[in-house]
Amino acid sequence: MSGLELLTWARGPGLVLAVGICIFGVILRLIEILALGRQADLASPRQNSTGSGWRTIFTRSLPPPGMLRRAPLTYLGGYVFHIGMAIAVFFFVPHIELFRGLLGLRWPGLPNPLVDIASIAAIIALLALLVGRLVDPVKRLLTNAGDWLAWALTFVPLITGYSAYHHLFENYTLTLAVHIVSVELLLVLLPFSKLFHVFSLFIARWYNGEISGRKGVAS
Amino acid sequence: MSPLGLEEKMNRPADNTLRIALSDAGISRRDFLGFCATLAAAYALPASSVIVIAAALENASRTSVIWLSFQECTGCTESLTRSHTPTIEGLILEQVSLDYHHTLQAASGEAAERAREESMRANAGKYLLVVDGSVPLGNPGYSTIAGVSNFDMLMETAKGAAAVIAVGTCAAYGGLPAAQPNPTGAVPVSQLIKDKPVINVPGCPPIPVVITGVLAHFLTFGTLPELDGRGRPTIFYGESIHDRCYRRPSYDQGKFAESFDDEGARKGWCLFKLGCKGPVTHNACATTKWNNGVSFPIQSGHGCLGCAEPDFWDMGSFYKALSMPATPVRKAVAGAAAAGVGAGVAVAFANRAKKAAAKAAHETVKVEDLTKKP
């Protein structure tokens, strides 16, 4: 299979398959999680906890006092990676064209050099986070196969996208095709791996904030 | 006078060469040397080689060429020969002794076929075979010449050829006839000829100077140019249209034409969003250009269709950006969402049942149980 054949497959049947599986998996898992339910909290709330859950969704993104100093790599690496990745995914013009093709929505993109800087930052941050995970004995103990998988699934699209844009390999078409296929693999495994935090994060944070609020813990 | 002067050529003395043909056509030596310099530059040869190429071409005599046209539209021949004035490219083709070309030759019927057979006999092992069009394998009757199927004619003629040049995307990759669902079972030449060098010169049509560039290389050096993994001359197909495009800076700056008549289009911004396939298309359009270097599709305001690449016809809409889905996804998404809801509800019920079973199986521990001796 040549690069162009792979590219055409990735833009056609591959994309349909990947998006289909992703949607299927996300809906399946969301229903599964939400339908599990929680035991009713029969105690009356300790204080007025209105909005505690919603607030927590945002406040959990900020480091608690002193934590930034104690775990700078985790926080800064996390910020740089997520923001860089978001810029690369949502503001690179060819990507916006993909969203337009899929959702019919469009928004202005950024010039390529800015997207390039964001991608490099995200790649460096991911590498730093990997090293941090390997070096720190506690983190290493907490790490299982799911974490390595999540890291790899995220890293490969970034590095292949960067390689394609900069023509790091002679066969641009193949590099582009591999990039798209790697994103499709990410989509397929997203609902069934730790990457599902893209969705579950908000549910978990809301629930934690809400239940803590009811019990009198500040969010 | 016939388009390529074939009748005149028949009466020409045997030592007649391109030099005379050029002066007959009113092409100055300066123009001719300019053409040779273009070829030398394309092949990255030193300036001194211009004279070598010129001498080789001028004195080239009677390298026989048999041109077979199969499932094609004659666009490749048109590309090479059609112009207001005779082109150097056309004259070189003529000069290399085109012994058989059923669009251009004066002879027809049995006389035409005889010309091919005679040439094959007289120049066995030495002639160049040029093919445009794909070969149908589905049914021999889909395309025949003088009652001979394309497949049979190709195999018979290729036997004594020094090399085969597959001109155009159809001959090189199957092209339009091979587009899905490929009703005639069209295949490219390289799939059938395995024991000879096959040079692919794709493009729909290919750039004239690329076709002649390959012929000129053969005439000058007696060898074929360096080929890439797809059998294409690296020198012409080594880079993508996008990399050589004069609109590339606007791609990098994020300046795109959104429609064919908006301000961006008028300012000559990048046509990526309008479906340009330049990033994955390898050809020399952006450098050698067309019509004697006047322009090329992107310069005239239309995105590249990717015509020099295999299966370009099946790469999705010409007017959809390369990063857009090539096939519709909405139906699949709706189906997947419905399946997801179904599966989610099923899993939810299964989990509930599991929870209920666990609850039912739960035994309350009493104080006596703790004090009981095992």
Best of B315, B329, B345, B355 to disrupt the A interface by mutation (most A CBs within 10 Å)? B329
User: Domain check: are B213 and B265 in the same one?
Assistant: no
| Among the listed residues A124, A99, A18, B28, the one whose alpha carbon sits nearest the alpha carbon of residue B36 | B28
CB atoms within 10 A of CB A167: 16
Query: Under 8 Å CB-to-CB from A94, ≥6 apart: which residues?
Result: B272, B321, B322, B323
**Dist CA B206 CA B1 (whole Å):** 27
B283: exposed, middle or buried (Cβ count in 10 Å: 0-12, 13-18, 19+)? buried
**Dist CA B8 CA B303 (whole Å):** 42
Number of domains in chain B: 3
**Residue B84 confidence (pLDDT):** 44
Which sign, positive or negative, has the C-alpha torsion B101, B102, B107, B113? positive
Residues of chain B with pLDDT under 50: 1-15, 83-84
Contact A3, A171 (CB under 8 A): yes
Cross-strand partners of B98 = B65
**Dist CA A24 CA A20 (whole Å):** 6
The partner residue sitting opposite B323, judged by closest CB among A25, A94, A173, is A94
User: Domain check: are B248 and B223 in the same one?
Assistant: no
Q: Is residue B325 part of a domain?
A: no
User: Domain check: are B345 and B307 in the same one?
Assistant: no
- Torsions phi, psi for A66 (to 5 deg): 85, -20
Its domain, for residue B339, covers 334-371
Best of A1, A7, A16, A181 to disrupt the B interface by mutation (most B CBs within 10 Å)? A16
- CB of B247 within 8 Å of any CB in chain A? no
User: Domain check: are B222 and B110 in the same one?
Assistant: yes
User: Domain check: are B18 and B103 in the same one?
Assistant: yes
Contact A27 B341 (CB under 8 A): yes
Average pLDDT over residues A87-108: 93
**Residue B92 confidence (pLDDT):** 65
Task: Please name the fold of domain A3-34+63-214.
Answer: Fumarate Reductase Cytochrome B subunit (1.20.950)
Contact A24 B252 (CB under 8 A): no
CA-nearest residue to B343 within chain A is A28
**Residue B9 confidence (pLDDT):** 39
The partner residue sitting opposite A28, judged by closest CB among B273, B332, B347, is B347
Q: What is the CATH number of the domain that holds B119?
A: 3.40.50.700
User: Domain check: are B302 and B183 in the same one?
Assistant: no
Helix (H) or strand (E) holding B201, with range, is strand B198-201
B231 sits in the region (left: phi over 0; alpha: psi -120 to 50; else beta) called left
Indicate the domain borders of chain A.
3-34+63-214
CA-nearest residue to A101 within chain B is B324
The partner residue sitting opposite A35, judged by closest CB among B311, B321, B351, is B351
Q: Is residue B323 part of a domain?
A: no
| Among the listed residues A71, A66, A194, the one whose alpha carbon sits nearest the alpha carbon of residue A129 | A71
B160: exposed, middle or buried (Cβ count in 10 Å: 0-12, 13-18, 19+)? middle
Average pLDDT over residues A78-91: 97
pLDDT at A142 over 70: yes
Question: A95 versus A45: which is more confidently predicted?
Answer: A95
Q: Is residue B329 part of a domain?
A: no
Cis peptide before B181 (omega within 30 of 0): yes
ipTM of model: 0.83
Contact A143, A73 (CB under 8 A): no
Residue finishing a domain among B214, B234, B254: B234
- Alpha-carbon distance B197 to nearest alpha carbon in chain A (angstroms): 21
- Please give the model's pTM, rounded to 2 decimal places: 0.81
User: Domain check: are B125 and B54 in the same one?
Assistant: yes
User: For residues B72-88, b (16+ Cβ closer than 10 Å) or e, as one string?
Assistant: bbbbbbebbbeeeebbb
Question: A78 versus A170: which is more confidently predicted?
Answer: A78
Between the alpha carbon of residue B61 and those of residues A102, A169, B57, B92, the distances in Å are 59, 43, 8, 10
- CB of B276 within 8 Å of any CB in chain A? no
Query: Under 8 Å CB-to-CB from A158, ≥6 apart: which residues?
Result: A85, A88, A119, A122, A123, A126
Q: Is residue B74 part of a domain?
A: yes
Q: What is the CATH number of the domain that holds B294?
A: 4.10.480.10
User: Domain check: are B109 and B230 in the same one?
Assistant: yes
User: Domain check: are B82 and B211 in the same one?
Assistant: yes
